[in-house]
Structure 1
Amino acid sequence: MKIKTWLYYANNILKKNKIDFFKLESEILLSFVIKKSKFWIYEFYEKNLNNIQLKKLMHLLNRRIYGEPIAYILGYCEFWSLKIHVSPLTFIPRSDTEILVEHTLKKITFNTKNVLDLGTGTGAIALAIASEYNKLNIIGIDIIPELINIAKNNANKLSIYNVTFIQSNWFSNLNNKKFDIIVSNPPYIEYKDYFYLEKSIKFEPISSLIAEDNGLSNFNSIILQSIKYLNHFGWIILEHSFNQSKQVIKILKEKKFKNIKTCLDYNGNERITYGQKI
C-alpha cells in the first residue's frame, strides 16, 4: 500500500470515529512508525509501505479508534516544547496547563529560590519551570513511586538537573522546608462528572482526575497546609476546573491569602487562581 493510500484510509476511519484532528493524527502515527518527517511523507507519498509497517500502523490505528490517547500510543507528548514521556500510569500533560507555567514564571523574582510542584506526575510542570530558570531549586512530589521514577527519567532525558523528585503525600515528606512558590494541578473532577468525560480521558488513571467534596478536597488540603510551607510573600498557584474559581477564591480568603486573582486559559475559561501569603 502506498503512503498516500494509507493516509486517505486513516483519515477517513479516524474522522468516522469522531477523532477531532484526524488528519494530524494520521500523519503523527505514520511519522512515528516509519520514522520520517511530515515533509518527507508528502515528498515521497507515492512510496510503498512494507508489510511490517502496515501491520504496526493498523495496530496503532485500532488503538486510537477505541479511544486510547495518542500520547499513550506514542509514549510521549509535548509540553512547553519539551518531550515528556508518559505511560498509562500518568496523567497526560495538557496544553491548557502551560498557562499554569506562564503565571508561575511571572511570579519569579531575583529573590525566588525554592519552588514546589505538588502532584508532579510526569514532572512536566516542574521541568518546564526548571528549563526557564536553571538557578532555581525545584522539588516535585507525588505519592506514587512509579510516577517519581517516570519524572526522574524525564529530567535525565531532558538534561534538566535543578529538579528533585520526592515521594510524598502532599507535604508529608518535606521536613518543614519553606518555598517561595507552590504550584499544583491536583485532581479536581467531581465523581459524578467523570461519567460524562470523553472516552479518551477514561484511559487515564482515575486517581489523577477525581477528588472528593465536589472536586474541592485537594484544594482545601493544599491551601491549608501551604501556609506552613510558604515563605512570607510567597505565592500559591493552582489549576482548577472552569467552574471552580469562586470556591478556590473562597478557600484562599478563608486562609487569609491576599492579592488573589483568577486567570483565563487559552480557550477563555477560568483556569488558574493564585494568592499570596502576607
Structure 2
Amino acid sequence: MIINKWLQYSYNFLKKNEIKLYQLESVIMLSFVLKKSKSWIYGYSEKKINFTQLKILKKMLKRRVRGEPIAYILGFCEFWSLKIYVSHNVLIPRQDTEILVNVACKKINFKTQKILDLGTGSGIIALVIANRFNNLNITAVDFRKKILNIAKYNAKKLLINNITFLKSNWFSKLKNKKFDVIVSNPPYISYKEYFFFKKKLRFEPITSLVACNNGLANFHYIISESLKYLNNYGWLILEHGYKQSNTVQKILKKNYYRNITKYTDIQGYYRVICAQKILL
C-alpha cells in the first residue's frame, strides 16, 4: 500500500471512530513508523509502505480507537518544545500545566536559588524550568521509583543536569530543606469524577489523578506542610480542578498565605493559584 492510500484509509477509520484530530494523528503515526518527517510524507505520498510497517500501523490504529492517547502509543509527546517520554506510569502533560509553568517562571528572579517540584511525574515542570534557568538548584520528588526513572530518563535525554530526583512521599524525605518556590500539579480529581470520566482517563495512572476528600486532600496537606519548607517570601504554585479555585483559596488563607493570585485557562476557568509565605 502506498502512503497516500494508507492516509485516506486511516483518516476514514479514525474519523468513523470519533477521533477529532484524525488527519494530524494519522500523519504523526505514519511519521513515527517510517521515521520520516511530516513534510517528507506529503512530498513522497506515492512511496510504498512495507508489510512490517503496515502491521505496526494497524496495531497503533487499533489502540487509538480504543481510546488510548496517542502519546502513550508513541511513547512521547511535546511540551514547551521539549520532547518528553511518557509511559502508563505517568500522566501525559496537559495544556493547563503550561499555565503553572508560566507562572513559576515569572516568579523566578535573581534571588531565586532553590525550587521544589512535588509529584514530578514525567518531570515536565522541573524539566522546563531547569531548561530555562540552568543556574537553579531544582529538587523533583515522586513516591515511586518507576515514575522517577522516567523523569530521570527525560533529564538525561535533554542534557539537563541541575535537577535532583528524590523518592519521597511529598515532603517525607526532604528533612529540613528550604525552597524559594514550590510547584505542584497534585492529584485533584474526586472518585466520583473519575468514574464519570473513566472511559477517557482509564489509560492514565489513577494514583496521579484521584484524591480523597472530594479531590481536595492533597491541597490541605501540601498547603499546610509547605510552610515548613518555603523560605520567607517564597511562593507556592498549584494546579487545581476548574471547580476548586475558591476552596483552594480558602485553604491558603486559613494557613496565612498572602498575595494570592488566580490564573485562568483559555476557556476562562481558574486552573492555577499561587500564594506567598510572608512571616513578619
TM-score > 0.5, shorter chain as reference: yes
In the alignment, structure 1 residue 71 sits paired with structure 2 residue 54: no
Residue deviations 1:187-226 (CA, integer Å, cap 9, x gap): 0001001122263421001000000001000000000000
> 2:210 maps to which residue?
210
Whole-angstrom distance in 2 between the partners of 1:266 and 1:171: 32
Residue deviations 1:101-122 (CA, integer Å, cap 9, x gap): 0000010010000000000011
In the alignment, structure 1 residue 3 sits paired with structure 2 residue 31: no
Matched AA of 2:111: N
- The answer on whether the counterparts of 2:123 and 2:154 sit within 8 Å (CA) in structure 1 is yes
- What SS does the aligned partner of 2:129 have? helix
Question: 1:242-261 maps to which residues of 2 (within 5 A)?
Answer: 242-261=242-261
Question: 1:139-178 maps to which residues of 2 (within 5 A)?
Answer: 139-178=139-178
Matched AA of 1:236: L
> 1:112 maps to which residue?
112
- Alpha-carbon RMSD across the aligned residues, in angstroms, is 0.9
- The answer on whether the counterparts of 1:262 and 1:271 sit within 8 Å (CA) in structure 2 is yes
> 1:85 maps to which residue?
85
Whole-angstrom distance in 2 between the partners of 1:13 and 1:216: 40
State the shift of 1:267 in Å. 3.2
> 2:44 maps to which residue?
44
- The answer on whether the counterparts of 1:69 and 1:201 sit within 8 Å (CA) in structure 2 is no
Matched AA of 2:92: I
> 2:273 maps to which residue?
273
> 2:96 maps to which residue?
96
Which aligned runs of 4 or more in structure 1 are off by greater than 3 angstroms?
none
Question: 1:13-32 maps to which residues of 2 (within 5 A)?
Answer: 13-32=13-32
- What SS does the aligned partner of 1:203 have? coil
Residue deviations 1:246-278 (CA, integer Å, cap 9, x gap): 000000000000000110123322110110000
Residue identity over aligned pairs, in percent, reads 58
- The answer on whether the counterparts of 2:194 and 2:201 sit within 8 Å (CA) in structure 1 is no
- The answer on whether the counterparts of 1:120 and 1:126 sit within 8 Å (CA) in structure 2 is yes
Whole-angstrom distance in 2 between the partners of 1:121 and 1:224: 22
Which structure 1 segments of 5+ residues have no match?
none
- The answer on whether the counterparts of 1:3 and 1:46 sit within 8 Å (CA) in structure 2 is yes
Question: 1:125-136 maps to which residues of 2 (within 5 A)?
Answer: 125-136=125-136
How many aligned positions are there? 278
- The answer on whether the counterparts of 1:138 and 1:163 sit within 8 Å (CA) in structure 2 is yes
